[in-house]
């Protein structure tokens, strides 16, 4: 080992890199010596929260991860489920929160780039992107800037590479003002037998790094940005944000898929957080082998890079493959044809150690087990948070008139029309899109063998902040309801758990309760958690974000021709409620507009009953019984009716037992507004409440009523676009 590689002050350097004092002592004990500069840099990243999940792994192990349709589960770059006909769908959601708070365009763009690589790293062709976004109130100049740049980055990357952005969500809440959330989900399609794993194998096999050259962008991202709170110095962290090139990624994707199609690869891994530092040990760990690499062979785009910089760089658009020596020339020829650039940088060994060389000089040597599995896993110490953890929102609504309330809700940033945002994305490239954004509660894509999949992504941080257990269950059921509205049955779930600092007892309680709920909901729905991401330390000087578990579901429907839609479609159709309708106002959008503090709990949820309602809706959509189907969510029944009317440009006359605020605007789980021929609806377990037709929305009970022209509703619904334009 080179003496000049010894750190001048290993302990202090470890602390500066984000390691705890006892973690550094553990490293020294496991190595039986002090780590040098290169080794310490690698440990600081692999033992960071972002790479090791040291505060969440014990919880994540409690989630259900098996099922009859599961093809690839947690532990790989993405999970995959069987969709019949020899095809599998791979999918995953990940965060790029801290980079997006520092530099929103590149942060969001490279978030999309990273999740795309996770999908083609398992051999699947990306066919769709969805995004889940959280910002402060749009009245804030900072929030509008972050939103505008993040949406621009998502559109730039997805549109340029030719993958449609088919769905998503965006919410605006005060607690996200300093720490926005940018979660990206990708879905890919692959023949089941073509899936590839990332485990290195075969001593003597070669490591080929291909794609973009390595630079200094992204250095320290996993430890500096993703594993610590954002403070006042966030702007100083700009060099840690990666820079993306979607055109380079397009070539990288096509090259990777051709290499897999031609069976030229033993294993494949993308380079994301921590770059080579993460990819090399993880591939070795999964294959129970060792790996030697020579950084002198790593192609670079910047001169005089230090060895540790090469190892920890998070430069984008790079992949690492294990290749048999006899196939090397074919691999390099394929890379040359796609202009990706490629170099042999190492080989698989039997040592079960990672050895880093710089030419003939050995500059780092660590047992794989120590690097990957040596990080301590922490037990959380959860305690229920104080009632005043989150300040009440500003009061923006005083009226008790139901017409004024409905117009205010339609204009509120969390409900207003998102067309201005999603029209910046290409949603039809690749020609698979059956249901575009805004047309249905879930996106629908046609597959080659005639069936279709539906995809949705959901979360509601405010409700989870009020009650982490029931709020998380509601998020899973809301996502499943969106699939039911287009006729799809859920096959698997991915998640991104966005929380604040888990070392604080009240945040640990939120995380613990939310993961418990996620497991209970998935077991009740009999769907596996195929993988996901955890993003912690999302807080700034003004406090923590709302706890925000984001869930993504993939489901299947037998015939895309019968995919459901939100819009009222036929004059004279009956309108009905399906499901147990038990609306409540606490933690609702109306409660927010009135400046109410979050309640300490939410109503109990009958998961089995809600799942049974989903099945009723799903089967009726598939049978063509419903002309439209829409779940009742933010804003309650009145908003759901207005959204159906606006989507179809058809009014409605609705008669209710009463038009109290909780009946009109209270929010619930497991209730749907549907429309269809009266004779067809009469045979279902539903409550007829009105008729489709005209150019007005009328909701009445006795002498009390809402009576508004669709044009007036549309004007209110366009408020967000007017604010952002």
Active site residues: 50, 96
- Distance between CA atoms of 121 and 196, rounded to whole angstroms? 7
Distances (CA, A) of 189 to 74, 120, 341, 448, 480: 18, 9, 26, 10, 21
- Distance between CA atoms of 67 and 73, rounded to whole angstroms? 10
- Distance between CA atoms of 537 and 561, rounded to whole angstroms? 44
Which bin fits 84, alpha (ψ -120 to 50), beta or left (φ > 0)?
A: left
Quick one: tokens of 128?
């769709």
The 3-state secondary structure of 448-511, one letter per residue: CCCCEEEEEEECCHHHHHHCHHHHHHHHHHHHHHHHHHCCCEEEEEEEEEECCCCCCHHHHHHH
Selection from 36, 132, 115, 80 nearest residue 363 by Cα: 36
Centre a 10 Å sphere on the Cβ of residue 695 and count the other Cβ atoms it contains: 11
Torsion, CA 29, CA 35, CA 41, CA 47, rounded to 10? -10
**318-323/342-349 β-pairing:** unpaired
Exposed, middle or buried: residue 329 (CB in 10 Å: 0-12, 13-18, 19+)?
exposed
**628-631/686-692 β-pairing:** unpaired
Which residues pair with residue 673 across a beta bridge? 577, 630
Contact (CB, 8 A) for 152 and 419: no
- Distance between CA atoms of 221 and 225, rounded to whole angstroms? 5
The DSSP call for residue 567 is S
CB neighbour list of residue 397: distance below 8 Å, 6 or more residues apart = 404, 405, 408, 590, 593, 594
Query: Helices (H), strands (E): how many in the chain?
Result: 25, 28
Q: What are phi and psi of 12, to 5 degrees?
A: -65, -40
CB neighbour list of residue 571: distance below 8 Å, 6 or more residues apart = 650, 692, 693
């Amino acid at each position: 080992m080179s003496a000049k590689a010894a750190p001048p002050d290993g302990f202090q350097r470890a602390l500066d890199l984000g390691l705890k004092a006892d973690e550094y002592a553990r490293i020294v004990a496991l190595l039986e010596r002090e780590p040098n500069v290169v080794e310490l840099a690698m440990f600081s990243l692999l033992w960071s929260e972002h790479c090791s999940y040291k505060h969440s792994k014990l919880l994540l192990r409690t989630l259900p991860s098996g099922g009859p349709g599961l093809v690839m589960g947690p532990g790989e770059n993405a999970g995959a489920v069987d969709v019949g006909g020899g095809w599998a769908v791979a999918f995953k959601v990940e965060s790029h929160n801290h980079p997006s708070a520092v530099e929103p365009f590149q942060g969001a763009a490279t978030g999309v780039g990273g999740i795309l690589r996770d999908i083609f790293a398992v051999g699947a062709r990306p066919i769709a992107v969805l995004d889940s976004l959280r910002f402060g109130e749009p009245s804030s100049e900072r929030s509008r800037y972050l939103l505008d740049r993040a949406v621009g980055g998502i559109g730039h990357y997805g549109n340029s590479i030719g993958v449609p952005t088919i769905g998503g969500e965006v919410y605006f809440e005060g607690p996200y003002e300093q720490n926005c959330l940018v979660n990206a989900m990708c879905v890919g399609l692959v023949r089941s037998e073509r899936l590839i794993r990332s485990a290195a194998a075969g001593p003597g096999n070669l490591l080929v790094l291909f794609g973009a050259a390595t630079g200094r962008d992204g250095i320290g991202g996993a430890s500096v940005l993703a594993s610590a709170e954002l403070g006042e110095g966030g702007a100083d962290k700009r060099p840690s944000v990666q820079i993306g090139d979607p055109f380079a990624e397009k070539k990288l994707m096509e090259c990777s898929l051709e290499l897999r199609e031609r069976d030229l690869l033993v294993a494949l891994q993308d380079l994301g957080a921590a770059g080579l530092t993460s990819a090399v040990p993880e591939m070795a760990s999964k294959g129970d082998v060792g790996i030697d690499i020579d950084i002198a062979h790593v192609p670079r785009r910047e001169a005089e890079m230090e060895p540790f910089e090469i190892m920890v760089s998070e430069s984008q658009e790079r992949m690492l493959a294990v290749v048999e020596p006899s196939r090397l020339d074919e691999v390099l020829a394929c890379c040359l044809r796609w202009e990706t650039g490629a170099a042999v940088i190492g080989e698989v060994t039997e040592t079960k150690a990672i050895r880093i060389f710089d030419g003939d000089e050995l500059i780092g040597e660590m047992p794989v087990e120590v690097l990957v599995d040596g990080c301590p896993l922490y037990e959380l110490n959860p305690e229920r948070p104080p009632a005043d953890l989150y300040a009440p929102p500003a009061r923006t609504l005083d009226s008790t008139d139901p017409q004024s309330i409905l117009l205010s809700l339609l204009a509120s940033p969390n409900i207003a029309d998102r067309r201005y945002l999603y029209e910046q994305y290409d949603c039809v490239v690749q020609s698979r899109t059956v249901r575009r954004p805004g047309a249905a509660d879930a996106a629908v894509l046609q597959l080659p063998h005639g069936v279709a999949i539906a995809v949705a992504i959901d979360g509601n941080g405010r409700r989870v902040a009020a009650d982490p257990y029931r709020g998380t269950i509601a998020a899973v059921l809301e996502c499943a309801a969106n699939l039911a509205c287009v006729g799809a049955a859920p096959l698997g779930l991915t998640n991104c758990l966005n929380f604040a600092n888990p070392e604080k007892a009240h945040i640990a309680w939120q995380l613990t309760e939310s993961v418990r709920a996620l497991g209970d909901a998935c077991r009740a729905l009999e769907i596996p958690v195929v993988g996901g991401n955890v993003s912690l330390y999302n807080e700034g000087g003004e406090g923590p974000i709302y706890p925000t578990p984001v869930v993504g579901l993939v489901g299947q429907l037998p015939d895309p021709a019968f995919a459901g839609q939100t819009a009222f479609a036929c004059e004279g159709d009956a309108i009905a409620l399906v499901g147990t309708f038990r609306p409540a106002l606490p933690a609702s959008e109306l409660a927010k507009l009135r400046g109410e503090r979050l309640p300490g709990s939410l109503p109990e949820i009958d998961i089995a009953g809600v799942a049974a309602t989903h099945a009723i809706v799903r089967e009726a959509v598939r049978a063509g019984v419903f002309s439209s189907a829409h779940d009742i969510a933010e804003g309650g029944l009145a908003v759901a009716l207005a959204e159906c009317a606006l989507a179809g440009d058809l009014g409605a006359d609705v008669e209710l037992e009463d038009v109290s605020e909780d009946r009109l605007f209270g929010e619930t789980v497991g209730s749907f507004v549907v429309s269809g021929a009266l004779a067809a609806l009469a045979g279902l377990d539903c409550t007829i409440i009105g008729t489709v037709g005209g150019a007005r929305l009328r909701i009445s009970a006795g002498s009390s009523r809402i009576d508004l022209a669709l044009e007036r509703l549309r004007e209110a619904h366009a408020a967000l676009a007017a604010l952002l334009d």
